[in-house]
Amino acid sequence: MIVLPAIVYYLYFCVAFNGGDLIPGRRADWHGFLGAIRPTFGALAAYLAWVVFQALLFLALPGRTVEGLPLKDGSRLRYRLNGLAALLVTLVALGAVQAAGVFSLTWIHDQFGALLSVITLFSFAFALFTYYWGRAYPGESPRGRGDFLTDYFLGTALNPRLPHVTGFDLKFFFESRPGLVGWVVVDLALAATQVERHGTLTLSMALVVSLQVLYVISYFWSEQGVLSMIDIRTENFGWMLIYGDTALVPMVYSLQAFYLIDHVPVLPSWIAALVLVLFFTGFYIFRAANAQKHRFRRDPQACRVWGRPAAYLMTSRGTLLLISGLWGLARHPNYLGDWLIAISWSLPTLFGSVVPYFYPLWMTALLLNRERRDDHWCEEKYGSDWQRYRERVPWRIVPRIY
C-alpha cells in the first residue's frame, strides 16, 4: 500500500519530468513534479463528477439483466450489463463538450499529477468506507481475517451493495466503469496532447491507443463473462482491488501512450507488423480461452471445442473441469493471451527506455501471483480432484515451458 503508489508516482515522474528515462538525469525536474502532484480542487471536482457521471450511466442506461454465479448459500445476485452503452455515451458526451469548446481533452494530461493524487487519496478513503461497510454487512461471505491491515487491504465483503443485497453493486461498478472507461479517455487525452504539441499523430500512438480501446470494447462486449472472474466471485472488495481499478488501470495502463507523446516519431514497419501479430495472437488466445470456459460452464453437454464434444474431468464437488481446447494445453491459457497483448502495447515505444515496459512486467508479476493463488484456492476447493487435473494438464500458463 506504500510501495505500489510510490512506484506509480515515480513512473509519472519518469514520463512527464525525466524525459521518459528510468534513472533521474540532467533532464530531471523534481520541482515541476512536486508541483504537479499537488491535489487541486479542480482535479477533485473533475474526478468526483466523473465517478458520479459513470454511476448515473450505470444506473440509468438500459441493458440485459443477468444472474451472477451462485454464492455459497446458493443464491445469485443480479447484474445489469450496460458497459458498452456507458462507454459509447461517454465518448459521445466527451466529443460534444470538446466540440463545443467547453472542455479540452488535453486538460487531463496537464492535470495528470493532480488527478493521480486525488485518485490515490480517494482509493484509500473509499477502501476505509468499504472496510466498515463490509464489517457492518458481512452478508453471504464473512471472510475478514481479523487484523485491520489485512482486512483493509483484502476487504471485508465479497459483494458490497448500497443498500445491502438489492442496491448499487460497488465492486461490479468500480471493476470497470470509472477505471476502464477512464483508461480510454486518458489514452485519447494523451493522443490529443501529442497532436497539439507536434501537429501529428504517430503510428506508434495510433497503434497503442486503438489496440487498447479494442481491448476495452471486447471487455464490455463480453461483460457477462466478467461475472466469473476471480475478482468478482472470489476476492473481497478491499484496497487491493480498489487501487487497481481506480488508479492503476487509467493512470498506469496508459503509460505507453504518455511516453509516446514526445517519442518514436517513426516506427519501423516490421515492428508495426510484429505488434499486430502479437496483439491478435494474444487476443485470440485470451478471447478463445475465456469463451471456451464460459460456454462449457453454461452447458457442458452441448459444448463443442475445436469441432469435438468437450472433454472434462468430473469432480466430487459436482463441478466439471474442461480439458479440451486451450484448457487441455495449460491450466491458465487465458493468462498467456493477456501477457502477449501486454507486450504488443509496449513494443511501439521501441527500446529507448524500460519505463513503458512497466505494464508487461507488472502483468508478469500479477498473472504469476494470480495463477498461484487460484491454484491454491482450487486445491482447497477440489482436493484430490485438482491433483488429478494437474496430472492431466501439467502446464500452468505456457505449454511445455511453464
Contact residues: ligand NDP, CB under 6 A = 229-230, 286, 290, 293, 319, 321-322, 327, 332, 334-335, 338, 370, 374, 377-378, 381
Contacts of 324 (CB under 8 A, 6+ apart): 292, 296, 305, 306, 308, 310, 311, 312
Q: Considering the complex, what minimum distance in angstroms separates the CB of residue 294 from ligand NDP? A: 9
Q: Considering the complex, what minimum distance in angstroms separates the CB of residue 243 from ligand NDP? A: 12
- The residue (of 151 and 338) whose beta carbon lies closer to ligand NDP is 338
Helix (H) or strand (E) holding 305: strand 304-305
- The residue (of 133 and 239) whose beta carbon lies closer to ligand NDP is 239
- The residue (of 36 and 326) whose beta carbon lies closer to ligand NDP is 326
Provide the 10 A C-beta neighbour count for residue 238: 21
- The residue (of 29 and 374) whose beta carbon lies closer to ligand NDP is 374
Provide the 10 A C-beta neighbour count for residue 104: 15
Q: Considering the complex, what minimum distance in angstroms separates the CB of residue 213 from ligand NDP? A: 14
Taking alpha carbons only, the member of 230, 241, 216 closest to residue 334 is 230
Beta bridge partners of 168: 162
Q: Considering the complex, what minimum distance in angstroms separates the CB of residue 233 from ligand NDP? A: 8
- The residue (of 39 and 244) whose beta carbon lies closer to ligand NDP is 244
The whole-angstrom separation of Cα 304 and Cα 306 is 7
Q: Considering the complex, what minimum distance in angstroms separates the CB of residue 326 from ligand NDP? A: 10
The whole-angstrom separation of Cα 310 and Cα 295 is 10
- The residue (of 274 and 311) whose beta carbon lies closer to ligand NDP is 311
Q: Considering the complex, what minimum distance in angstroms separates the CB of residue 181 from ligand NDP? A: 15
363 phi, psi to nearest 5 deg: -65, -35
Q: Given CA atoms 24, 30, 32, 37 in this order, what sign does their dihedral have? A: positive
Cell readout for 347 is 513494443
The whole-angstrom separation of Cα 115 and Cα 39 is 7
